[in-house]
Each structure stands twice: as C-alpha cells, then as structure tokens.
Amino acid sequence: MSTIEKFMNADPLSDRLTVRHSAAIQRRIQQLLEHKGWTQKEFAKKLDKKEPQISRMLNKPHNFTLRSIAEMEEVLGAYILNTDPKQFGIKARTRSLLPEIKFDLNYIEDKWISMQGSNYYNSVNSQPSSDVILSKNEHAFNLVDLEGFNVASSIENDNESQMYHVAELELSQVSEDPIIYG
C-alpha cells in the first residue's frame, strides 16, 4: 500500500464522519450568521455565552450536542440540522416548530425563488414546474404549505444553485402570500 493510500485508509469511517458532521454544522452556522449579519459577539450575547466560547465552537472541530444545536436553532430561527424526510424519500409530514416569517411576493420574486427562467409567483399562476431553483447567493429557508408542513428545504451552498423537487407541493394550497421560514 502506498504512503498516500495508507494515509487515506488509516481512520475508521465513523471517526471521519464525526469530523465531517462537526465541520458541516459549523459551516451551516456560519452561513446563517452571515445571512443575518450577526457577528460572533452578537451571536454569543443572544445565546448568553461568552464570545471566546462561541469562537471555539465555530472555529475548531467541536463535539456539538443536540441540546446546543437546538439552542442555536432557536436563536437563529432556522434549522441547523435538516432531517426533512422528503430529502430521504420518506413519506411523512413533519410540522416545523420554527417561527413563521412572511415575505411579500415581490420580495420573493426578486430575491428568493426563480423557477426555470420565470419566477415562482408567475409559475403559481401559470404552468407549475416541479422544481424550484434557488439562486446561488440566497440562504436557507423552509418553504411550507398553508398547514405549516414542509414542502421544500434548502441546504444552501454558496457555490452553486441547487434544485429542489417540490412535485408534492399542491399549488392550490399556495396562497399569494406563501409562508417562508427564514
């Protein structure tokens, strides 16, 4: 086995996944902070923690607990861990507990959602498409139907646009003022 192969195969997958999950959670938190325009200091204050504690948590591999993640989700008003069953092909309806933030449609049209060249607003009123395209600079949200059930979620990625399958979205349930969790 070559030196590089030995290096690549030296560690159990579970160890590698632990590090990857830690890094992915940190990346997600950083994105949400940037989206909100919060500094680490402001975030620390909202969490009632000291800034160095938050800095350590975000800038070194960290063993997050579910409790600490939930507390940050509450403060950020957005999910850090996304276990939306639709992403995994699981048929389930899971109600979001995060507070609703409503945006007017013009804002959505301009900033949030486009659909294959047109925009979400237009497509609601004309021929719907089964995919929503998020522009690359936008951030996480959960698109929910009027009953509050999740129909599409973003796992944002600053590098590329992503497509989200929302075929199961019943467009008749979407009002002209759709609810978006920010």
Partner 1 sequence: MLKIIEIEALNEQKEEITFYTLQPVNEENQPTGEPSAFQDFLDFMNCQTDTIIQEEFKAVRLAIKDYLPTRGALECFFRDEENCSLRSSSDMAKAFPRHNKLKEVYPVFVYDEENQNCRIRLYCIRVDKHILILLNGALKTPNIRSAQDCPKVKPYFDFCNEIAIALHDCFKDNQIKVIEDEDGYPILDINSHTRLNLCLPSRNS
Nearest approach, Cβ of 27 to partner 1 (angstroms)? 6
* Stretch of 18-26, 40-48, 144-152, 163-171 contacting partner 1, by CB under 8 A: 18-26
Task: Let me know: does 134 contact 156? Beta carbons within 8 Å.
Answer: yes
Task: Let me know: does 102 contact 177? Beta carbons within 8 Å.
Answer: yes
CA-CA distance, 165 to 140, in Å (whole number)? 15
Nearest approach, Cβ of 161 to partner 1 (angstroms)? 11
Residues in 53-72 at the binding interface with partner 1, rule: CB under 8 A: 59-63
- If the CB atoms of residues 19 and 171 are measured against partner 1, the closer one turns out to be 19
Task: Let me know: does 131 contact 104? Beta carbons within 8 Å.
Answer: no
CA-CA distance, 26 to 61, in Å (whole number)? 9
> Alpha carbon of 1 to those of 11, 12, 15: distances in Å?
15, 17, 21
Binding string to partner 1 for residues 86 to 125, with x set by CB under 8 A, is what? ----------------------------------------
- If the CB atoms of residues 7 and 107 are measured against partner 1, the closer one turns out to be 7
Phi/psi of residue 43, nearest 5 degrees = -60, -45
Task: Let me know: does 84 contact 181? Beta carbons within 8 Å.
Answer: no
Residue type, 179: I
Q: Does 3 bind partner 1 (CB under 8 A)?
A: yes
Among 48, 104, 147, 160, interactor with partner 1 by CB under 8 A: 160
Residues in contact with partner 1 by the rule CB under 8 A = 3-8, 10-11, 15-16, 18-20, 22-24, 26-27, 59-63, 159-160
